[in-house]
Amino acid sequence: QVQLVESGGGLVQPGGSLRLSCAASGSIFSSYTMGWYRQAPGKQRELVATITRGGSTNYANSVKGRFTISRDNPKNTVYLQMNSLKPEDTAVYYCNAALASDVIWGKGTLVTVSS
């Protein structure tokens, strides 16, 4: 079974950039649709971006044009490049792997956008 470990979160000023990484264990990483979700304090978890095993991407309207999801299958890693960050992007960001009924979550990494 795939296990996920996120990294790259931290404190950044508005307008800044961060790159999140999600390292996956398991031999069938390339078969999974990978995604990033986030949960802000007091709010429900929401979709940020997904990428299929074929490389097709989908983004939440709130991050289109600012965030880019990518994957490196030989490295078993998915990335989220976040540019032009806003205070409203502050949240715990979770990595997600999905294949049919198999859905796996990482433990999350905190991103704080503040001056």
pLDDT digits (tens, 9 = 90+) for 14-48: 999 999 999 998 767 888 999 999 999 999 999 99
Distance CA(43)–CA(21), nearest Å, equals 23
Q: Which residue has the higher pLDDT, 1 or 35?
A: 35
d(CA 39, CA 47): 9
pLDDT > 80? residue 7: yes
Q: 84 and 67 in contact (C-beta within 8 Å)?
A: no
pLDDT, mean of residues 59-86 = 97
Q: How far is the C-alpha of 62 from the C-alpha of 11, rounded, in Å?
A: 20
Q: What is the DSSP string of 21-67?
A: EEEEESTTGGGSEEEEEEE-TTS--EEEEEE-TT--EEE-TTTTTTE
**What percentage of the chain carries pLDDT values higher than 70?**
98
The whole-chain average pLDDT of the chain stands at 95
Q: Does residue 2 register a pLDDT over 80?
A: no
Q: Does residue 61 have a pLDDT over 90?
A: yes
Amino acid in position 21: S
Q: How confident is the model at residue 100 (pLDDT cuts 50, 70, 90)?
A: confident
Do 18 and 82 contact (CB within 8 A), yes or no?
yes
pLDDT of the residue at 28: 75
